[in-house]
Every structure is written in C-alpha cells, then in structure tokens.
Structure 1
Amino acid sequence: MSRRTALLGAGMALALAGTTAGAMADAFAPQSELAGTALVLQGAGTASYMIWDVYDAALYAPAEANEGAIVNAEVPMSLILEYHRNVGVADIRKATWVALDEQYAGEERERLRPKIDAIQNAMIDVTDGDRYQLDWDPEAQRLTLKLNDETRFESDDRELARAYFGIWLAEPPLSDKLRAALLSRVD
C-alpha cells in the first residue's frame, strides 16, 4: 500500500465529509427493485476526505418510507457505494468503527462486534470504479453485501442490518453531510 493510500485511508477513518444530493442524484438510477419491491432513490452524495472524492453513495427505499423506518431497517433498502479511489479493507474497517464506537457503548458494542467482523471479513480492498451494494429485505430477513454484483456476504440478522446501514444513517453517522444527502428525499 502506498503512503498516500495509507494516509488517505487513515484520514477517512477520522473525518469524512459529504456533498449534497444535487447533481449526484443524477448519477444514479431513479428507481431500483429488491425482491419484487419497487425502491426509489431517497438521496445521493459524495464522501470526501480533504480534496479527494472517495466514493459516491446512493440510498434506495420504498417511496412511502419515512426516516425512522429506514434507520430502523423496517423497510427494504439498498445502499450503493461507488468508489473513486483505491481503499484498503483495513481502512474501511477503521471508518466503520469510528461511527459504531460513537453509536454503541460498552456491552452493546461488544455484542455487535462479531457480527460486524463477519460482514467485514467478507470484504476486500476496493479500487477506483468498484461498487459495494448493501441490500436489506426485512420480509425475507436477508442482508446481502455485493461487490461489483458478486455476493460476498449474506445474513438473516436484522440487528446487523440496522447497525451496518446505521454507519451512514444512524446518529451520529460517519458523515453528517452524507447522511443528510442520503435522506434528502425522505419525508
């Protein structure tokens, strides 16, 4: 790993900023589908660190979904992260725990740790152009993580779905600006 990549990853773990939905929403399809349920683009934004755009993100959920239902993983949803930089999985893990350490305390965090480790053990380094997609279907109790349309992880754990989507959507998120962009169309 180059020094620049290491510094970029370490910095991302500490502070990601997001751009607003604006033109970013135009880069993603307005609709999607998950297990026969129509999903609409709720919002999109870019996660940036300093001057570098790291990834574009888009959130899809049913048109009628409210913020509480999305944050609590009560509705089908899909989160897409399309990378503009090479990012090592170790840096993805660091950034994940920055958010989760703020959201969960003590015993609850330690109870979640094996679940988070399981999904992250399925992840690999990403390069410019790679796309992670996280899908949750509450009816089928199926959480799926794909990299470039290849399934890397599946689980039936609602708590894991809520926690992992929560990295971007729960309070406090990895980035306040990115959270606001992802939820920009939620009423």
Structure 2
Amino acid sequence: MKTTTTFSFPRRHRPAARVACSWALAAASLGFVAPAGAATPFEPAQTVQGTPLVLQGSGTRYRAVFKVYDMALYLPRKVRTAEEVLATTGPMRLQFVAQRDIPGTDLGLSFIKGLSSNATPDQIRRHTPSSNRLVEIFSGRAKLASGDTFAMEYVPGKGTTFFIQGQPQGAPVGDAEYFGMVLRIWLGPSPVDASLKEALLASGPT
C-alpha cells in the first residue's frame, strides 16, 4: 500500500498559509500555467566520474504560483522521451538551485512523496534504507536558503550520491533501480510538476 504524507502548518504560520492558499485558488481560477525553462543559467555540460554529460533540459518547480527550485538534468547524450531517460545506463546528474527558503524536512519528505507516487510498494520496501538516508540528509538542515544548490549524482556500480552546496553528503546509496525511482519523481507517470517534466525533455535531439 502506498503511503501518503500529511502536512500541517504550525499555528504561527497559519496566516501565511491562508495567503498562500488564496494565491493558489486565484492561480487555478485564472488557469495559471508555469513557464517552461529555468531562470538559472545551468552549465551546458558536466563531468561525472570522468564521463562527460550534456544538459538534457532544465526548468522550474512551482508550487501553486511560487517558485521552489530550478532543476537541470544531465545525461551522457540527449534523448527524446522520459522512457529513454529511464533506460539510460551511464552516469547521470540532477542539479538544483533553491528559488526560495525551503525547510530541509519539507524538501526531504516531498521527495519521498514523489517516490511513493511513482513506484510499486515492493520497490518502496526494497529501497527503504536509501530513502531514509535521503530524508536524513535534508532533514539535517534547518533550511536551504534561496540560491543554495543541491544535487543527486548516479554512477553505475556505486549508487546515488547526494550533494548540498557542492559537498557530498556521505557515501553513495542504492542501485540503478533506486536512481530510476528518483528520476520518476519528475519524469514518472505522476510527476511532481507536469510542466517541469516537459521542460526537462524539451531540449532533446531534433
């Protein structure tokens, strides 16, 4: 059975929460659509464990009308579809830049919610230690401030390494299946942001 996470606002944050909800309702009534592409000028290439990677695409994660983070996907070669991304076997990198102050616990739990929405219960059980480590890493920080960077880097045979401000956060975790679960947070059948999914795939080969 898939698990769901329920969030509640502390009493001192409830006025701000009501404002946020009002903005969200207004955005929905106006048919708000997040623009494609990210404001952050991501590098066109990265190198992971000696393997050159190219920028597949980039975009912005929105929650209602609010920017949360800019994100870039780096692959060994550009592809056209989410299925091709998930079938990639070489090193890969997900790069992020926070666009607002984000509580570390909220970020970690949002990733877990995205994992659960795009994986089977059996996959969730098999990779519980890796997911717990992900939550620990981000929950260990009170917040990521606007402009802070974080990343997830996969190397075949080694696993996924999490980075905050360019610094690795412990040893790699998981395997190829686990990183596929991570990718599905944004590229799966129930992505956290459909417009962001399109943006990450928009720069594929023509």
Query: TM-score, length-normalised on structure 2?
Result: 0.73
CA distance in 2, matches of 1:141, 1:186: 27
Amino acid at match of 1:52: F
CA distance in 1, matches of 2:73, 2:197: 10
CA distance in 2, matches of 1:166, 1:99: 8
Among 104, 129, 133, which residue is 1:114 paired with? 129
| Corresponding position of 2:105 | 90
Residue 103 (structure 1) aligned with residue 113 (structure 2): no
Shift of 1:26: 6.8
Residue 142 (structure 1) aligned with residue 159 (structure 2): yes
Query: Structure 1 residues 7, 132: closer, same or farther in 2, change over 3 A?
Result: farther
Residue 133 (structure 1) aligned with residue 147 (structure 2): no
Query: 1:143, 1:155 within 8 Å by CA — same for their partners in 2?
Result: yes
The 3-state SS of whatever aligns with 1:122 is helix
> What's the Cα RMSD here?
2.9
- Overall identity of the aligned pairs, in %: 25
CA distance in 1, matches of 2:110, 2:40: 27
Tell me: higher relative CO, structure 1 or 2? Use CA pairs within 8 A at least 6 residues apart: 1
| Corresponding position of 2:168 | 151
Instruction: Find the structure with the greater CA-based Rg.
Output: 2
Query: 2:100, 2:146 within 8 Å by CA — same for their partners in 1?
Result: yes
Among 6, 13, 22, which residue is 1:3 paired with? 13
Structure 1: give runs of 5+ residues left out of the alignment.
12-16
Residue 20 (structure 1) aligned with residue 30 (structure 2): no
Residue 179 (structure 1) aligned with residue 186 (structure 2): no
What per-residue deviation string (whole Å, max 9, x for no partner) do you get for residues 83-112 of structure 1? 011111221133223322321243332333
Structure 2: give runs of 5+ residues left out of the alignment.
1-9, 22-32
Residue 31 (structure 1) aligned with residue 45 (structure 2): yes
Query: Structure 1 residues 86, 64: closer, same or farther in 2, change over 3 A?
Result: closer
Q: Give the length in aligned residue pairs.
A: 178
Query: Structure 1 residues 26, 127: closer, same or farther in 2, change over 3 A?
Result: closer
